[in-house]
Amino acid sequence: MLGIICILCCIGTITVWASLNRFAYVVHRPWCKKINAHISTVIAHRFFAIFNTYMHFRFAGDYTLVPQLPEQYLLISNHQSLLDIVVFMNYLDGKRLRFVAKKELANHVPLVSVMLKSDEHCLVQRSGSPSQAMQSMDSFAARVVKNNWIPILFPEGTRSKNGKLGTFHAAGFRRFLSKAPMPVVVAALDGGWNISSIPKLLTNLRGGAYHIKVLKVYPAPTTKEAQLKVLEEGKSLIQEQLIQWRKSDS
């Protein structure tokens, strides 16, 4: 019963802010910026407060390296669910975060679609030509530099449905850094795959946790070899962290 109450509270919160944001997007799009800022700070925290209150589901953020983060950086992480976006907003400066996401998410996804479009996140059409994807990355890199945003890229390119780490793709990562050289931060998260659907929410939410941790900060890699090394090492660091978390939770 508490699980149903928890889900209803979350749906109610999403419905209210999704409706308000969609109205603003149609009537006066600059309003969306203020609404998005509120969602990425206050509402992101509220989601986990609801989870914790009703289901004792913890936001398990490790902030050890967060004070050492540079002013601007590219963050790469593994990817498990749409809730990863909320997790990062709750963990870091939500107002400055911008995600690289598939273009399909810009349509018909409550709250998420309008936020992705109005806050100028990078929307890549996976079924399009590689040149179109690279052009999207180029324009995104320019916006990131201009606005001092923090870009977040999931090198797997898609969500892991079983929590296993997938292949890290280098093309988008290297293209972004070629246009906007900056330090690279590697982060790991775990818990999203286990609550990625309504049935899983009802069965796995109680007493669970969403882990997130910054693992390492790399200086800006300026060569192809350095970029590939960061990506390879980053994947290994994430895999090691996932193993540690799952051992401690078992």
Average pLDDT, whole number, for the chain? Answer: 91
Cross-strand bridge partners of residue 69: none
Question: In one letter, which amino acid is 8?
Answer: L
Tokens for 136, please give them: 């999207």
Alpha carbon separation from 42 to 127, 155, 163 (Å, rounded):
35, 28, 28
Tokens for 70, please give them: 């540079």
pLDDT band at residue 177 using 50, 70 and 90 as cut-offs: very high
- Mean pLDDT for 170-192 is 96
- Mean pLDDT for 34-59 is 90
Q: Could you say which DSSP state residue 161 is in?
A: S
Q: What global pTM score does this model have?
A: 0.92
Whole-number pLDDT of residue 11: 81
